[in-house]
A and B are shown apart, each in its own frame.
Chain A
Amino acid sequence: MTTLVSADGTRRRKGRLLGRNPLGLLFSAPYLVFVLLVFAYPLVYSVWIAFHDFFFAAPGAQVDRPFVGLENFVTALTDPAVIRSFGNVGIFLLINVPLTVVLSLVLATALNRVTRFRTFLRVSYYVPYVTASVAVVGLWLFLFNGGGLVNQILGPLAPDPSWLINETWAMPTIAIFVTWKQLGFYILLYLAALQGVPKELYESASTDGAGAVRSFFSVTVPGVRPATVLVLLVSTVTGANLFTEPYLLTGGGGPNGASASPVLIMYQKGLQQGQPDVAAAIGVVLVVLVLLIAWLQNRFAGGRD
């Protein structure tokens, strides 16, 4: 191989410049163009829009879009509806993230030891995850409406007004819905992580007299820590992007904005009310907050590694 390459001078130089198989770059070019076009450029553009007076103009029209500094951020953050939507997503994350981590780890641990019905159980756990939100939203509207099955079972314990039109319960109901919907994916992540926990650790724990609960906390939980960091990150990012559920389950973030999410407000402000600059500013604030939360999670759950 070496003699072949050094025999041909030009090929050798090209080889040094682009690596041994420059064809790799050609093969990856469509993907790289896609990433630049659909992720990198819009990301930069989004920040640019947030700092300028941006509005929708007729195609081809030359318009002036002056730099306005932090004006869009001030407009966004002095709007009580925007502040409320960040509070709402905070409530959402406080319910959804811990519930997701605990339930998916417990179910994955239980599923990992089982041999009979394993396939049936695994499939039934991820069926909600692979199904369209829009389809299951239709069902939850039926289950949780005033005279729905959930209230029929609860009888006098049912909240009044019913779940999705109740200011206190609307957001928690959405949080429970999303937990239920996404849990199967996180169970799969934990199942993969559990394969990496050495069996010997369980054996030595049980030799030391540790019961099932004890070895769950002293072997399983530390053993799947990298997966936990991943589950925390993915569920936080998913939660911050909440849109479909408040749009459909609570008829656009109702009642009185009690379940409006920042992305829903971005849609309303940016595309319905024609203020894409303010919407982009909300988006930038949301990303910064998510990065901050992710950093904190990594610091406190990630351990030394």
Chain B
Amino acid sequence: MAGSKSRVRMTPANALSDTKMSRGQATLRAAVLALGALVFLFPFYYMVIGSLQAEPDPTVAGAFPHPSNLTLDNFAAINERISLLTGLVNSGIFTGGVLLGTLVFGLLAGYALAQLQWRGRGVTFALALLVQVVPFQLLMIPLYVLIARDYGLSDNYLGMILPFFINSTAVVIFRQYFLQLPKELFEAARIDGASELVLLWRIAIPLVRPALITVVLLTFIGPWNEFLWPFLITKDAALQPLAVSLANYISTVAASAANPFGATLAGAVVLAAPVVVLFIVFQRYFISTDIGSGVKG
């Protein structure tokens, strides 16, 4: 943009076509972006509207229903089939366990990778990157054999949490943030006799507070949205996270003739709402550069 402005003064003829072009471009760009936003957001609007309709109306008019057709009955209906509260609590425990593991042990590893010199540091960092491209699904069979059969941790929160306990992307992001802190700061404190844990707690963590929020956001969506693993490991409905109990509901009703979409959509809204709200409130901590560095290292 600054470039085209400076050219305005140099070659007026070119500049004219340039501004004309960029006006057309700007319109095109706005159209593309608006269309994108519509394609991404409309389904969510439709999900909420669908969950509030007394009778599911799949016609175009159904997307803009009369207020008299709106009701909360679907939420009561889904709550009768699967306990929403139990599901939310289980999802919360599963997610909370992963957050705890990632924030404590991921932070320690990230600090060690960035600020300490020790043998095996390079290998550990390479592992943290490599682990991110190992597809979890391919470990499904051996993990199931180990955790459910050998350790006897099926229908158990520990068994649910274990494969996700420390998020490797978070380790890489923590390292990235700790690398930006000046080494001298730590050297000085070390000479004063501060232990590494004190350094980490008193100096390092307060300086990387934005990274903590980024990591919480990024780590949160993993277990909260995860379906395959908790689905394999929990057969007891009282222990199932909401994603699993809702999926079981969807796959049972999908086979039956009458399809109560309203109840499904109500369950979907309850499952989606906490994450969507979290990401809207803390959107400025979920920015491209952090995510890029987390994956690329």
Point out residues on A near B: beta carbons under 8 Å: 1, 17-25, 27-28, 30-32, 34-35, 37-39, 41-43, 45-46, 49, 56, 59, 106-107, 110-111, 113-114, 117, 119-128, 130-143, 145, 147-149, 152-153, 180, 183-185, 188-189, 191-193, 195, 199-200, 202-203, 206-207, 211-212, 226-227, 230, 233-234, 237, 240-241, 243-244, 247-248, 251-252, 263, 266-267, 270-271, 276, 279-280, 283, 286-287, 290
Contacts and interface: CB of A to CB of B under 8 A. Distances in A.
Contact of A34 (B105, B146, B295): B105
A130 B108 CA distance: 26
The secondary-structure label for the interface of chain B is helix
11 contacts: A27-B116, A30-B109, A31-B171, A35-B168, A45-B145, A127-B44, A135-B268, A142-B261, A183-B40, A252-B251, A276-B141
B227 interface: yes
A139 to B, nearest CB: 5
Interface string B109-127: 1011100111111001001
B140 A267 contact: yes
Interface of B: 1-4, 7, 18, 21-22, 25, 29-30, 32-33, 36-37, 39-41, 43-44, 46-47, 50, 56, 58-60, 62-63, 101, 105-106, 108-109, 111-113, 116-121, 124, 127-128, 131, 133-146, 149-150, 152, 162-163, 165-166, 168, 171, 187, 191, 196, 221, 224-225, 227-228, 232, 243-244, 246-247, 250-251, 254-255, 259, 261, 264-265, 267-269, 271-272, 275-276, 279-280, 283-284, 286-289, 291-293, 295-296
B116 A21 contact: yes
A46 B138 contact: yes
A203 B8 CA distance: 12
Contact of B268 (A121, A139, A184, A234): A139
Contacts of A18: 118-119
A103 to B, nearest CB: 8
Contact of A251 (B18, B140, B251): B251
A178 to B, nearest CB: 14
Would you list the 3 A-B pairs with minimal beta carbon distance, nearest first? A192-B292, A24-B118, A24-B116
A28 B163 contact: no
Contacts of B127: 32, 35
Contacts of B136: 241
A191 B288 contact: yes
Contacts of A56: 145, 149
A32 B178 CA distance: 19
Given A125-B40, A130-B275, A39 B283 contact: no
A59 B40 contact: no
| Residue from A37, A38, A126, A195 whose CB has the most chain B CB atoms within 10 Å | A38
Contacts of A137: 247, 250
B271 A17 contact: no
B138 A287 contact: yes
A110 B37 CA distance: 12
Given A23-B116, A141-B264, A110 B143 contact: no
B187 to A, nearest CB: 7
Contact of B246 (A31, A131, A134): A134
Contacts of B18: 206
A131 B275 contact: yes
A163 B31 CA distance: 28
A27 B33 contact: no
